[in-house]
Amino acid sequence: MLGVCYYPEHWDESRWQTDARRMRELGISFVRIGEFAWSRLEPSRGEFTFGWLDRAIDVLHEAGLKVVLGTPTATPPKWLMDECPDIVPYDEQGRPRGFGSRRHYTFSSETWWRESARIVEVVAERYGKHPGIVGWQTDNEYGCHDTTLSWGPEDLKSFKRWLRLRYQSTDQLNEAWGSVFWSMEMNSFDDVVLPNLTVTEPNPATRLDFWRFHSDQVAAYDKMQCEIIRKHSPDRWITHNFMGFVSDFDHFKVADNLDLASWDSYPIGFVEKFPFTEEERNRWAETSHPDIAPYHHDLYRAVGKGRFWVMEQQPGPVNWAPWNPVPKPGMVRLWTWEALAHGADVVSYFRWRQAPFAQEQMHAGLNLPGLDEWSPGGREAMQVSDELAALGSLPETSQAPVALVFDYQSYWSTMIQPQGKDFRYEELCFRWYEALRHLGLNVDFVRPGGSLEGYPLVVVPCMTEVSEAARAELEKAKGVVVIGARTGSRDRNFRIPENLPPGPLGGLTGNRVVQVSSMRPGLSEQVTGTVSGSAIRWREYVETSASVLATFENGDPALTEKDNVLYLACWADSGLLADVLELATQKAGVATLRVPDSIRIRRRGDMVFAFNYGTTDWALPEGVTPVLGGANIAPQEVAAWRV
Ligand code: GAL
């Protein structure tokens, strides 16, 4: 169940045998290679130098390792960029983004599609049937470094084409966008301009379409690569390594073409990426927040239709966050076990050996910089490998009691028109997830319109546009459904629905939102009733025919209930959110196990795992016999038992 990311091209060939042998010693089965190697595979147009990769794959294969080969499209080489300037992406300020790192291409460029297809074809054809190759990774981390959206001439050209297909006529386009407002009407698709560099804010409907267009392009581009690989490489699976907290494209749509999802887990790096408070950042600086990695494991398990890997696991300090502490001893092991507890098929470390050169020389590996010597993270990986061998195979993950409906488009919509500066969709989902995990619950993510069957509890933190499919599933749901603010607040054209929010869910919730108010940091409103706490950031003024379970200070409904559906008309602070979700579990008959702030538990089949992110011991529940760890879990320790 362990793997590693390896760059044979970074090391003298004389070292490969030793590397492969030591990988086996550590208990590694899978090696991902090749995803940035274009300049070594094709140093100039049409001149292919495959010899080294042939030999590298053979060495790994002969050592008994299974190879996952990456397509090298995240790093188009210099000669290609010089030859084809229309590949270059543009930032929102309209500036071309330069060569010299990676992901310097726009998904809109036809030339880029042609060049990608060409290199993928050549690589897939050469290695597709190699017995050492068990799977493929397309590209590397779509969207990372803000590379989903691009704002250049190629993007405008493709955007126009996409709009023509979507709207057929400018009348329909003008109608959908409400272009009569501020005289934005267009007489021809040629009049379309990019929604950037405007005097004040551009039309939100245009921006949403621009986002959807880019998201569609990522999925189509990935599909193009998958089709070529499948043609040449039968019986191998294909994945893509998604990144944490990159939501600029719909990952579910990309994964529709994949056999499994994978993601790159840098728990400590993400502490700086996520809008935590400074206090939280300091508290979790050397362990990460206990829900950061789990949240993504659960998300990507859903994206992968039940199957996911961690393709890159942080093995020590990283290099790319503003501060990069060394993880506390035990954390690399803990993160590995945690991924497995959440259902990962494989955890693969990034990277085999720390590189003493170039951009990532401050990024740890399983081996010290340039050496054949285990790093502290390497030794922890070895411990996991021994423990895995002792435990035998892990049971399958079963359906969780809670479904969290996650919607990429809601992230785009609330970014486009936040109304309150701190209404952040990802943060909202994360806080709901965190509150559920405090109750000791397993959580499944579900895409909008995905089946909610068999879930006693369904939560929808926010879903700005409620599609027909999403409405139908929510109406069919037999469990308790908790719906958050701003759900159904826009239709597909980014308009306020005719019957007012929550639009298509008006009947289901019994509510009509007549006004919304965003609140400055520091301002809040008391909520009292069956639940209590504070509304912060966002509050809605709701007319309701449902029962009112809690009210704001002026007596307006804050939490309503109609049959099995609860509606929460605000952004809840942690106390209120905990109350609401606990109430929902009670109504749903879902058993909970309240755990301290720094403890998390996760069930995989008949095994329960517990993780200690804190600074004091935690005693396992009475009567359980650990099969991993002891009855007391020390800080940064893991335990597991069977039920
Ligand atoms: C990932 C990326 C890797 C490496 C790593 C460093 O985002 O896929 O290539 O850069 O970060 O943490």
The predicted-structure confidence for 347-401, as pLDDT tens digits, reads as follows 999 999 999 999 999 999 999 999 999 999 999 999 999 999 999 999 999 999 9
Q: Is the CB of 312 under 6 A from ligand 1?
A: yes
Query: Spelled out in words, what is the top-level CATH class assigned to the domain 402-588?
Result: alpha beta
Does the beta carbon of 350 lie inside 6 Å of ligand 1?
yes
Mean pLDDT of the chain: 98
Q: How confident is the model over 55-73, as pLDDT tens digits?
A: 999 999 999 999 999 999 9
Residue of the CA atom closest to atom 12 of ligand 1 = 318
pLDDT at 541: 98
Cα angle vertex 359, ends 353, 361, to 5°?
A: 35
Q: Which residues of 127-151 are buried (b: 16+ CB within 10 A; e: fewer)?
A: bbebebbbbbbbbbbbbbeebbbbb
pLDDT of residue 22: 98
The token pair at 375 is 């790093």
pLDDT at residue 250, rounded to an integer? 98
Tell me the backbone φ, ψ of residue 455, rounded to 5 degrees: -95, 115
What amino acid positions are annotated as catalytic residues?
141, 312
Asked whether 141 lines ligand 1 (CB < 6 A), one says yes
Query: Considering only CA atoms, which residue is closest to atom 5 of ligand 1?
Result: 350
In percent, the amount of the chain with pLDDT more than 70 equals 100
Give the model's pLDDT for residue 521: 97
pLDDT score recorded for residue 554: 97
pLDDT band at 336 (very low <50, low <70, confident <90, very high): very high
Task: Check if the beta carbon of residue 367 is closer than 8 Å to that of residue 352.
Answer: yes
Average pLDDT over residues 265-273: 95
CA 141 to centroid of ligand 1, rounded, Å: 8
User: Which CATH architecture fits 599-642?
Assistant: Sandwich (2.60)
Q: Peptide bond preceding 351: is omega within 30 degrees of 0, i.e. cis? A: yes
Residue 357: partners with Cβ closer than 8 Å, 6 or more residues away: none
* pLDDT at 16 (0 to 100): 98
Q: Could you report the per-residue pLDDT of 96-155, keeping only the tens digit for each?
A: 999 999 999 999 999 999 999 999 999 999 999 999 999 999 999 999 999 999 999 999
Q: How far is the CA of 191 from the centre of ligand 1 (A)?
A: 40
Give the integer Cα–Cα distance in Å for 379 and 447.
38
pLDDT band at 176 (very low <50, low <70, confident <90, very high): very high
Q: Indicate the pLDDT class of residue 277, thresholds 50, 70 and 90.
A: very high
Backbone angles phi, psi at 610, to 5 degrees: -130, 145
Give the helix/strand (H/E) hosting 24: helix 16-26
For 396, the 3-state DSSP assignment is coil
Centre of ligand 1 from the C-alpha of residue 324, in Å: 14
Residue 354 Cα to ligand 1 middle (Å): 12
Measured from the Cα of 35, ligand 1's closest atom is 9
Contact status, residue 246 vs residue 263, Cβ threshold 8 Å: no
| Domain boundaries defined on the chain | 402-588, 599-642
